[in-house]
Amino acid sequence: MIDGKALRSILGQPSLRQHLELLTRQCATVIACRVSPAQKAQMVNLVREHIVPEPITLAIGDGANDVDMICAAGVGIGISGKEGLQAVNASDYSIAQFRFLGRLLLVHGRWNYRRMSMVLLYSFYKNITVALGTFVFSAFCGWSGQTPFDSWCVARSLVPRARVLSSRDALLTSSSCFCILLLFPVSCRLAPA
């Protein structure tokens, strides 16, 4: 955790900045309090530029002073509230209250991960099937260049993708999400370093 005065002096001196870069490489989470909007964006850029491989950064903000930080981060979450909707308009995801963050990360993040992995595997196996089918068909046709599939057949293969994208994980319901939040509070480290 670092505050604005310390951050201003650290970022002003190159030797201290290098020490901060080394320190951020060893941290799982970097939290800055009482810093200016420009310093928030500088901290996000510092983490993104000097850690290899580049980490996925998450910035959470609720007002106009958080817009630069949200735009600099890989994933931005805006919280709509009393300070206006500037953070919500600049963010990738928006939530109404901070307490919805656990559900957004744990439930919807898992659903998205599963959907994307299913689409990836479906596309991989579909392309192998189409390529092998075309190869075998070409061998039987004397390599004439005749296409084995009509355009409607290839377009029809997109229908299962829509089904995969709309599927939900039956394992995670609202009650199981509550149990997960009790076991792993949002403040704990969600991923290994």
Which pTM was predicted?
0.66
CA proximity to 32, closest of 74, 65, 54: 65
At 33, give phi and psi (nearest 5°): -125, 150
d(CA 191, CA 17): 26
Ranges of beta strands (E only) in the chain are 2-3, 32-33, 58-61, 75-79, 93-95
Q: Where are the alpha helices (DSSP H) in 141-184?
A: 151-156, 159-165, 174-183
Range with top average pLDDT, 2-16, 87-101, 142-156: 87-101
pLDDT digits (tens, 9 = 90+) for 50-73: 888 888 889 999 888 999 999 999
What pLDDT sits at residue 91?
Answer: 93
**Quick check: 122 pLDDT over 70?**
yes
**Quick check: 95 pLDDT over 50?**
yes
What pLDDT sits at residue 82?
Answer: 79
Q: Which residue has the tokens 């595997």?
A: 121
Model confidence at 25, pLDDT cuts 50, 70, 90, reads confident
**Quick check: 189 pLDDT over 70?**
no
pLDDT digits (tens, 9 = 90+) for 147-187: 787 766 666 665 555 555 555 655 544 444 444 444 444 43
Domain-by-domain residue ranges, the chain?
Answer: 2-96, 102-183
d(CA 70, CA 40): 9
Work out the percent of the chain whose per-residue pLDDT is above 90. Answer: 16
CA proximity to 78, closest of 91, 66, 68, 65: 91
Fold of 2-96: Rossmann fold (3.40.50)
Q: pLDDT averaged over the chain?
A: 79
pLDDT digits (tens, 9 = 90+) for 38-52: 999 998 998 888 888
d(CA 36, CA 7): 10
What pLDDT sits at residue 168?
Answer: 60
